[in-house]
Every structure is written in C-alpha cells, then in structure tokens.
Structure 1
Amino acid sequence: MMSHPCMKSLLFLLSTLCLCSSHSASRPMRFSAYLDPLQQFHLQWDHDSKEMITFELHVQSTGWVAFGFTTHGELPGGDVVIGGVLPDGNMYFSDWHIVDEETIVEDESQDYQLLSMTEDKTSTTITFRRYFQTCDAHDQPITGDTLRVISGFGPDDTIDFFKGKLIKRSLFFLLYLDEAHLNTPSVYHIYDLKLDDFAIPEDDTTYACTFIPLPRVKTKHHIYKFEAVITPRNETMVHHILVYACGNASVLPTGVSDCYGAEPEFSLCSQIVVGWAVGGGSYMFPDETGISIGTPRDPQWIRLEVHYSNFDLIPDLIDNSGIRLYYTPELRPYDMGVLQTGLYTFPIHFLPPGVESFNSYGLCNTSQFDELNGTPVPDMNVFGYLLHTHLAGRGVRGVQYRDGKQLRILCEDNKYDFNLQETRGLKEVVTLKTGDEFLVECRYQTLDRTSLTFGGPSTLNEMCLAFLFYYPRNNISSCMGYPSIQYVAQELGQTAADAMEGMMAINLVDWDNETAKKAEKACKEVDQVVILKTIDEVVVNETGFIRDIIDTEPAPCKNIFNNDPTSEPEMQARYQAATTSNALDPKATLPFPTSLFVHLGFTWLLTFSLFVV
C-alpha cells in the first residue's frame, strides 16, 4: 500500500484502465435531488431491504467527479469516491477519505461498487452502490439521520481535489414513499392559505397570524397533499409556516397581528393541521389517509402562522407566503390528525451556555386521552413525523414506552440540521395506544453562547418538538411536558418559591460543565407536568417521569464483496489497524513527471467491479 503524503493540493492522475462494458442499475430510482443551486449536480438514489443503497450522479463536467459524506459538513473525516472517463475512453473509480484540509488518502478497503460510467460532450454520469454500514472505519454510515453530502468536479482528469468545485448539502436518504408511487387522485382542487401583501417588519423575529376559512365543500373531501409557497426572494426570511385548526365554536378576530403579542386572541387554535419549516418540500400523505374537510365535525377555519427571521433588518419586504393544499372528493379510508409532543416551550425551557452537549426532555403521558377526547381514543397509527428545534439543536429523538418498558425509538435524527426540517415517513406504521408514554429528547450545543438560552418563539430562543402524523383522528391536539424549574434551581444551590423565581434564580448560576451536568440531571430526574390540550382549547394536566432510553444496537457491517456481517469488536480492531497502517509521512514527497500517470496503490480493478454483482 502506497502512503500518500501531505500536500497542499493533491495532484495526480488515475491510471487504472479497463476494457469493459457498463452494467446499469436494474430498476428506476425513486428519489432524487439537485445538490447545488445551479443544478450542475443531480443525484438519484434508492435502497433495498438488504441495506444496500444505489446512487446515480449526473454532473455537468467531463473531468473528474466526486461524491461522498462528511461528519458535520467539514472536510476532515470526509468519505468520498472519485471517478471519471479518460480521453481514450478508459475509466477510473476509487474510494477515498479526507484526512485534513490538505490531504486525501485512498482507502485500503474499497467499499463502493461501480455499476456504470458514461461521458458525453458536456457531462459525466456514474452509477455505484454500497451498504449502509460498511466494515471500513473511514466510511460514513448511512443512517436515518440527516447526512452532510459533499460533491465536486474538476475541468479535466487531472485531479486537484481541494481546488475543484466542491458543493455541500444536507440530505435525508432513508425515504420510503415518493409521490410517483402514491395514488394521485384523478380529480383534485388547489387552495392557498397565505398572507396578502404582508410587510415584513425590520425585526429579527416576527410571528404573523391570520385566520382563513378552509375550502367550502358541500360533501366530504380529503386534503391529500400540501406544500409551502414562498414569495420569491423571501426564502431566507421565512422560518416556518404552521396551519392550526380552529374549533367551530371559536370566536376569531380579523386581520393580521402578532401571534403571541398584545392581542391574545391571535394565538387561538392549537391543533396542527400541516406544517412546513426551513428546507422542507411538498408532502403527500399515504394512500390510506387524508385530512377531512366538509363534514359537521371538521374545522371550518384555520389559523395561519408565518414565522419570519429578518436578522439583517432588511426594509420594504412584502410577503405573500403560505401553504398550498391539494384536496379531492376521492376519499381515503381514514381521517388523519397531528399530535404535537415535546417540551412545553416557555417559560420553563433553558439551556446553559458554553457546553458541548445538553439534553432536554418533554414527556407525553396519554393516560387521560380517553377522558379528554370524550370517547375512547382508537389506536393511533403513526406514519410520519416532523422534528423541530432551533439553531442550538444537534439531535432529536422520540421514544415510545408501554407498561413502563421501552418499545422503540419511534423517530430520531442524531445529526439534526436546522436548515433541513421536513416531514418524514416511517418505514412501517407504528401503533400508539392510550396509556403509552412518548418521550422527546433534544440534544443541544451552546459553545458559541455566553448566556442562558431560553425556550421561546425567536430563532435565537429554543424549542424541542416532535409532530406525529397519525390516523384515525381524535380531538387531542397537543401533549407536552416540562420539569419543575424550582427543583432545578434548588439543585443548583438557589432558592425559588415558584416558576418565575426559578427562572430568575438560574440566571444567577455560575455556569460551567459541572453545573450544566447538574442541571441536566435535575431536569431528567424530577417529575414532569404534562399539559394536554384539545382542538377546543380544553386543557388538563397530567404528571409523569423521564425513563431511561435504551440505544438501538447498530446493524452489523457488510463488505460489498462478502456479505458476512462483521461484529462491533471486529470493526474496532479494523479501525485501530487502519489508523496505524494509513499514517502519513509529512516529510514524504510524491514525484510527478507530467508525462506519466501516477499509479495508485489500491485503485479498483474496474473489470472486476463491473461484472461482480
């Protein structure tokens, strides 16, 4: 194995040649995305029950192309494949990892399998595959988390990776349903819920609310799809859009006002119908369900909430953003609902400053669901979810318990990205029964902050929420918990007679890692108050406590050419061996006669890779 030296820029030509025919993926790929604003990188992908994922990358370049993953968006630790077609028609393709901002090293274990590669006068298309979890410590695992993708290309086949055009983007790969495989009704209508010529204030945070009727229909219809409609050039201003159903007995104001300001009537209606946040796209519900409109039981009005973040205080911005609904008379079997869970946002939620990791918890105890609903609540079939924190959020997971025992981690994103908040479908429908507990845990990082962060509506405040999409619908709109802030203050050496004094008391704490851990422990061990609310704003309180979370065991790794799983100890041994054998010699030099190709020590044998399946 040839050790490649540290160089300010890696300059080499790949010379592994093959005389072979291409092998394409066997079926059309269900998912796709452009990786850059100029649409020079188009990615398609699909995955199967064997935890194999296949990619097809189409790049507007006839030079080298690269694709891979990074840990948090930074280059060091990145895992990439590099390939291309030489002028004589021969191909090169190899698996690499990025050591630092100047060094890239070829992997000893090659875990991406090339399926096909073509080039025309303007672009290159490469199809390849790998397992979710390879047995190479240098490969990033593909999980149910948000992944940071890196892609790049150069003008020709002389590879200078760090000087090529590199694009980074966050994507979620483990999608299970796409619109092409869902039932689009033969008859449908479109209806927009939006603001009309709203002047965005010169303020960092604005919550604008107004009340709008739902479509007037004489018979029952189902809303089966929604998408955000953002006013051009205001994309960076709109943080989220929520649609809340109002009880039909509600007395609603007119006009537009601050949702949570001096006019409390503009915060009426709390049952989420649909929601969109930064980075999200359109969402079509599964064929089994839709949002019912047109019956006496269905809401007739909604509250539209648009959150703006105008941090640069840009003047004279006019906005008409909102949510577009698609509805049809072709009915589905079930009416759906949305349950809001997590940590009751304010004023109890807080985060210490300057910490690498701090966990917050919000509990939903469903034991009073039947009483609050008025009739027994049918089993809730959860099919999708939307996770939500603000800028300090690094991870969110929702955990289901029954009879005091953990059933499953129902939803999670351990690499949460504020800029990619989207409704995601579950692989399988999960049943939530009355009496179950549902815990939301949010992990934060506040290394860039010198003072406490409190829960609240501003992007600079924090939230910890999980919205569960389910069927059949019931009357419960939200189920959220919070800890006793007085207890937390007392555990930190302060005194507090009530919640307000508790919030003031923790402001007096001298925060460091030790006190942050004490606060986290106190928030977890104290009983939570659980607030349940219906569409008609009926509120009851419940209690509960935070149970331990049992982490999911990682799946065994797989080798692309040998399907025998590898255990965790074996993986650790491989990692230690890899970090030792791939140590780079900073004093080494790489001679590069410009008339010769540099042969790589472990580049793929393309003939082999194209014919082994």
Structure 2
Amino acid sequence: MKTFALLALLLPAVLAANINLSTYPLTADLRPGSYRLHWSFNVEEQSIRFAVNVSTTGWVGLGLSPTGGMPNSDIVIGWVNDQGQAFLHDRFATGRSLPPVDAMQDWILEDGEQEDGFTILAFRRNLVTCDEQFDREIQSDTARMIFSWNDADPIDDDPSQVMYHETNRGSSSINLLGGQQEVPTDPTDLQSFDITVDAISVPSDSTTYWCSAFELPANVQNQTRFITKVAPIIDEVNMQNVHHFLIYECTNLNSTLTGYSAPCSGPGRGVTGEMVAACISRGILLAAWAVGGGKFVYPADVAYPVGGDGNPRFVVMQTHYDNPNQRSDIVDSSGMSFFYTSTERTFSAGTLQLGHAVSSSMIIPPGAQDYRVFGECSSACTSAHIPEDGIFIFANTLHTHLVGVGLTVHHIRRNETCGDNGWKELEPIDQNLQYDFNFQQTVHLPELINVKPGDILRLECIYNTEDKDGVTLGGESTLEEMCLTFLQFYPRIDLSSCFSFISSTDPRAFQPFLSDSLTPEQRVALQTAAISGSTTAVENALNDISWTSDAVASLQSSVVNGPVIDFCVPQNPRRENVMSESFPNGLQPIECEYQAPDPRAGICDSGAGNVVANMMLLVVAITIGIMM
C-alpha cells in the first residue's frame, strides 16, 4: 500500500486550463517581469489560493520559509509538460538540496497551463494543515516567501529529477493575510494632490529628520474633500535612504511658513523652524508610510476628511532619511500622493498613534533573545475619548527598527468573571511575530475590531539583541529603537496618541535592577550621565555594566513592574487637555490572559485530517492497482 500511495502522489493532473488571474485580488512581483504571485484567502474557511505566473516553460517553485532561506521551508514544485499535463508536489526542505516529496500532500493543484513562454500554476491549501512536521502555518505574521524556477521540466516528469535553479531564485516578505480581498473601485470624480520635497540635498549625517511645510490646494481648502487612497512617491535611486513619512495637519501655521524645508532639529532652524517642527507634536496625523510599504486604499464606506471650513489648511511632512554611508550626493524629491473625492462617505477615519515614548529611557540590553517594551492607552483615556458605541479599527501599521522582531497590539477589557475589578485579554487586534524592518506595510485587519470606552490598548514590542555587544536606546536613528503602531479607525474622535514611558523621577524607577546589577560606582556614573542630558554619556555608562542573563532579567522585571506614566493626547493638544496617569506598580495586571484556540482542534483530532488524506490516496492507489 505504501508503494501505491507514493505512485498516487506522482500522478499528473490533466486539467482544463482556464486560469483567470483577475479572480485573485492580491498580487506581488517577486521578480518583476519574471515571477508574479497572485493570491486570495478566506479566513472563515481557513484557506488560501495561489497562482504563479512565471517566465519559463520549465518547473517553478514557491515556499514558506522561516528566515528567507531554503532550510526548514515548506515548498511546492510544479510544472506543465509538453503534453499539457500539470504536476505539483508538496515538499519540505531540510537543507540546501532538492527537498523530498511529503507523504501528505496538502498543497492541492487546481490548474496549470503554458502560454507564450509563461507557466501558470494555480493551487490551494488550508492555512493550517494536519502535517505539523512538514507544513508551516500561514498566519497574520509577515511571511518570508522563497521562489525559484528552471527553464527545463524534470527528466521524464520524475519529481526526483528536478534540475538546479542556478540564479533563478529569491525571497520576498509578504503579508499574505493583510490585504483587501475586494479593493473598492475609484470614485468617478477622483482627483489627487501631491506632498513632496523639492530636490533637497540630504545631509551627510547617518540620520536626518527633514520637516517641510505645505499649504493644501485651494479647492481642498475651500471645500471638505474625502481621501480614499494614499500612495508613496519615492525617487527610485533613493529607495534605500527614504525610511518613513509622517504627514500632519497643522493649526499653528500660516501662509508665511509655506515652503519651509529644512532639518527638523539642530542649530539655526530659528523661530520658523520651531513652529514647523511643533506641528509634529501638536498636529493631527494625516498619513504615515514606512520602508517596504505600498499604496493604501480605504474601505468602500470610509474616507479621511480633509480641508473645508474650520479645518487645517496647512500640513507638515516629516521625512526620515537613513544614510548609513554618510553620502553627501543624495538629492531627493519623494513624498506622498493623496487621492480624494467630493462625495462624503458613511464613516470618517482617524489615526491613533500608540506605543512607548521615543526616548532614551527605553533601554534594550545586549544579549537578549526576547526583551519586551510596552506602551498603552489606559482605561481612563479610552473612557474619556471613545463614545459609548466605541470605535472600529480596520487597519494598522506596526513600527520598530532593526532589532525589533515581533509586535502585538493587546486588547484588554474589564470582566467580572475574572474577579473583582478583573481584566480579561481579548484576541489581539494585530500581531506580527515575524516582523521585517524592511517590509512595514499598513495591513487591513481580517475583521473590524470594536474598542469600547474603558478598554485598555497595549502595544508589546519584542527585541532580539543576541548579536549586540552594547545597549540599544530608544531614539530617532535607525540604529536606535522605537515601539509604535498606527491604528486606523472610525468614527473619528478627539484622540491623537497614547504613549508610555518610565517615570525616571520616581526613586523606584529601574529598581531592583539598579541595586542588584550595578556596583555603587556604576550607579553614580549612570546617575551623573543622566543628569548631564547626554545620550552618549548614558549609553557609555550602561555599556560598562556586565550584561549577564540575570542583569537582563532584572531590568525586564524592573521595567514591567516599576513606575510608568501614560499620556493621553487629544487632537490639537494644549497643556490643560493632555491627560497623564501614573502607575507606580507598572502595567495593569491581566487576570484572564488570552488563550489562542488550537487551530487544528476538530480538524486533526484523532488523526481526522490524516484519515481524509490517506483515504484519498487509497482510492487512487486502488485505481492504479486495477490498471496494473
């Protein structure tokens, strides 16, 4: 029976080739002109469909990798032979050689064809299969897709005779479950305006934050318009240097400041520069983009209102340039396009920035595998700003820098079944435990998330510094760290941001870490450095510490359980309307933590999934036996 089952796996499929690629709403050019991936997914059915369109008449491969390399990857290899027969085999790579065919075939061929020198294969699989050993789960995390092809089919259609791909290979990060399944059609009256810098000379510093002030177009100022789509405009030669854009609506500017364009901080910026930079902390976030992101289309019933009577006429764009080689020849004209309609939609969108304050008080020690930093919107904050029916989160952008490896947006709600004044953690709003710094997309959530007044929103960022010799501090540089997320929601409310930081003026701050892990001399040196206000001095003092595993654990415990301050910032903040709360004992404990359901429960119990798969093989095997 094992021989028959193996033969069943090797049978070709003679299919009525009729692959309509337009039925796949999501696409990615893995290698432009040579390899294009199409896909769609169904969360309710827990399934995903793929189609690959590759410039070859030989075999093609696609895989899910843990790191972007071949080892431990879940791979399919398929082809269409000269007789029009399509083949597809589910495999698992243990190394950098031809991966063997799996005993369980969970990638199912739907169709295959060749036309004009291109091979198209359509196939599907469940997001979670019963083959725990050789299939990778498809989740909301960033997937590392690997791909390959060869211009020849395997010899005699033998799956063990797949020729080497040579240089026809690559990897790409993709959010497989983060796209819109139905992209709204553009309104018939769609117009656009651009916000871009004008051929600026980027400073040779390794990190530059550049602030530019603009006046909205006259037709937008005079009548409220409704933004339905935003898209980055990046000078192709500067793709490696443009790190992010943040664009804010400003109420504190006037027409005399329009056209200002200079570094956001530093000597010589003057009063004008200070007013422009002030918009970053006081303005209303209109749009955000980060490296690896693409265009963003609002849902069909949602738009971002801009302009019109009583609304801001001016915007400031903050551009982060990453210039690790400190080049002096970078000239840039990048920015963003805004597409709008005159027709109001059902819901007006807003953006909530959530996370840890960008501050050197965020200390990430070296040698840590999963060090964690938190930032939150407190229950008092959401009670004060969120209406009774709540808000609905529909998209999100997660953001850390180079040592960030995972982020989770926790959703916490009071629940009496969790004890007196108990708190229950709901399903995370967003989670990416395979975060890729170079692929920071705004993702549409699979379902709307209803956040109610009194809920707690908590961002958790995970960092891996096992290859670091020194500490990493919070800051604006790419080599420093951030812990932020940008939640898009409706209806729009008077809340701009929530952020947390360590209450360093509290004598209990960073205790017992300071007492247990530092010598008296090290404590004095760190205190002196902190008083000086020099980030470099603080960093040097911290790097003099012996960062043993116990010291790392002590700092983590001190941060989680030590005094923290949460700030709740409305739109157009003033000193008197910014809410702050002190939590002397750290994060609010969660009595009932969220327990993710077993995705295989009811599917693979008692070998149910294996039974179905093996029954299918048995039927084919019996047929082969009769034919033989």
**Contact 1:41–1:58 (CA<8 Å) still a contact in 2?**
yes
Tell me the equivalent position of 1:111. 106
**Alignment partner of 2:188: what SS?**
coil
Match of 2:231 among 227, 231, 252: 227
Give the direction of change, closer, same or farther, for the CA distance of 1:92–1:515 in structure 2 (3 Å limit).
same
Distance between the aligned counterparts of 1:237 and 1:604, measured in 2?
A: 57
Q: Tell me whether 1:174 sits opposite 2:213 in the alignment.
A: no
Q: Deviations over 1:367-423 (max 9, x none)?
A: 14566x6x9687222111110000111101101112222123111111111111111
Residue pairs, 1:49-88, within 5 angstroms: 49-88=44-83
Matches within 5 A, 1:448-467: 448-467=467-486
Q: Kindly tell me: are residues 603 and 153 of structure 1, through their superposed partners in 2, closer, same or farther at Cα, counting changes over 3 Å?
A: farther
Any idea what the Cα deviations from partners look like across 1:293-340, whole Å, max 9, x if unmatched?
Answer: 233342221110111111123332211111111111111122221110
Identify if the C-alpha distance between structure 1 residues 516 and 570 changes in structure 2 by more than 3 Å, giving closer, same or farther.
Answer: farther
Q: Deviation of residue 552 (structure 1)?
A: 4.5
Structure 1 equivalent of residue 446 of structure 2: 427
Pairing of 1:133-212 with structure 2 (within 5 A): 133-136=128-131, 137-158=133-154, 159-161=162-164, 163=166, 165-175=168-178, 177-178=180-181, 181-212=183-214
Q: What SS does structure 1 have at the residue aligned with 2:429?
A: strand
1:341 maps to which of 354, 378, 384? 354
Q: 2:466 aligns with which of 443, 447, 450?
A: 447
SS in 2 for 1:207: strand
Q: Deviations over 1:339-376 (max 9, x none)?
A: 100111112112111222211111211514566x6x96
Deviation at 1:162, TM superposition (A): 5.8
Q: How many residues align?
A: 559
In the other structure, the counterpart of 1:483 is 502
Q: Take 1:39 and 1:500, find their aligned partners in 2: how far apart are those partners? A: 54
Residues 510-566 of structure 1: CA deviation (Å, up to 9, x unaligned): 1122211221122112232012223323233123442458354244339xxxxx601
SS at match of 2:135: coil
- Once the two structures are superposed, what CA deviation does each residue of 1:107-131 show, in whole Å capped at 9, x if it has no partner? 1111011111112341111000000
1:542 aligns with 2:581: yes
Contact 2:513 2:551 (8 Å CA) reproduced:
no
SS for the counterpart of 2:51 is: strand
Deviation readout 1:562-598 (Å, 9 max, x if unpaired):
xx6014x969x99xxxxxxxxxxxxxxxxxxxxxxxx
Structure 1 pair 155–525 and aligned structure 2 pair: CA distance change class (3 A)? same
| Consecutive unaligned residues in structure 1, runs of 5 or more | 3-13, 559-563, 575-601, 609-613
Give the equivalent residue in structure 1 for 2:420. none
Residue 24 of structure 1, CA deviation: 5.4
- Structure 2 contact 87–109 (Cα < 8 Å) conserved: no
Give the partner amino acid of 2:295.
S
The partner residue of 2:335 within 304, 307, 322 is 322
Give the 3-state SS of the residue equivalent to 1:556 in structure 2. coil
Deviation above 6 Å: which 4+ runs of structure 1? 249-252, 375-378, 496-499, 602-608
TM-aligned CA deviation for residue 248 of structure 1: 4.8
Contact kept, 8 Å, 1:489 with 1:506, in 2: the verdict is: no
How far, CA to CA, are the matches of 1:313 and 1:26 in structure 2?
Answer: 44
- In 1: Cα distance, 2:472 partner to 2:233 partner: 31
Q: Secondary structure in 1 aligned to 2:23? A: coil
| Residues 1:566 and 2:604 aligned together | yes
Structure 1 contact 30–45 (Cα < 8 Å) conserved: yes
Aligned counterparts of 1:60 and 1:442: Cα–Cα separation in 2: 40
Contact 1:18-1:607 within 8 A present in 2 as well: no
By how many angstroms is 1:476 displaced?
A: 1.9
Q: TM-score under structure 1 normalisation?
A: 0.84
Alignment partner, residue 614 of structure 2: none
Bigger mean CA deviation after superposition, 182-191 or 262-271: 262-271
| AA in 1 matched with 2:67 | H
> Which consecutive residues of structure 2, in runs of 5 or more, have no partner in the other structure?
4-8, 155-161, 415-422, 611-616, 624-628
For residue 566 of structure 1, what is the amino acid of its counterpart? C
- Name the SS of the counterpart of 2:427 in structure 1: strand
| 1:102/1:162 contact within 8 Å kept | no
Q: Deviation digits for residues 184-215 of structure 1, max 9, x if unmatched?
A: 21112211111111101222211100111223
1:260 and 1:408 map into 2 onto residues whose CA distance is 40
Counterpart residue number, 2:261: 256
Residues 127-136 or 524-533, more deviating: 524-533
The alpha-carbon deviation at position 26 of structure 1 amounts to: 11
Measured at CA, do residues 352 and 52 of structure 1 come closer, stay the same or move farther in structure 2, by a change above 3 Å?
same
Letter in structure 2 aligned against 1:33: A
Residue 553 of structure 1 is matched in structure 2 by 596
State the TM-score, normalized to the length of structure 2: 0.82
Q: Which amino acid aligns with 1:409?
A: P
Q: 8 Å contact 2:150–2:165 — kept in the other structure?
A: no
Partner of 1:42: 36
Amino acid of the residue matched to residue 604 of structure 2?
T
| SS of residue matched to 2:275 | helix
Partner residue, 2:626: none
Judged with a 3 Å threshold, the aligned counterparts in structure 2 of structure 1 residues 22 and 328 are, in CA distance, closer, same or farther, namely: closer
Secondary structure of 2:477 counterpart: coil
Moved more, 101-110 or 415-424: 101-110
Is the 1:365–1:530 Cα contact (8 Å) retained in structure 2?
A: yes
Partner of 2:243: 239
Counterpart Cα distance in 1 of 2:622 and 2:52: 20
- Bigger drift between 103-112 and 14-23 goes to 14-23
Q: Distance in 2 between matches of 1:499 and 1:552?
A: 43
Specify whether residues 92 and 293 from structure 1 end up closer, same or farther in structure 2 by C-alpha distance, changes over 3 A only.
closer
- 8 Å contact kept, 1:399–1:410: yes
Letter in 2 for 1:114: L
Matched, 1:415 2:434: yes
- Once the two structures are overlaid, the 10-residue window that deviates more, 346-355 or 15-24, is 15-24
The question of whether the paired residues in 2 share the 8 Å contact of 1:94 and 1:604 is answered with no
8 Å contact kept, 2:224–2:309: no
Offset of residue 19 of structure 1: 4.8
Q: Are the equivalent residues in 1 in contact too, given 2:215–2:255 (CA < 8 A)?
A: no
- For the 8 Å contact 1:211–1:252, the answer to whether it is kept is no
Name the % identity.
28
C-alpha change, 1:607 and 1:196, in structure 2 (3 Å) is farther
Q: Kindly indicate which of the two structures has a greater share of residues assigned to helix.
A: 2
**In the alignment, residue 39 of structure 1 is paired with which amino acid?**
G
Of residues 301-310 and 473-482 in structure 1, the stretch that sits farther from structure 2 once superposed is 473-482
Q: Does residue 520 of structure 1 match 2:556?
A: yes
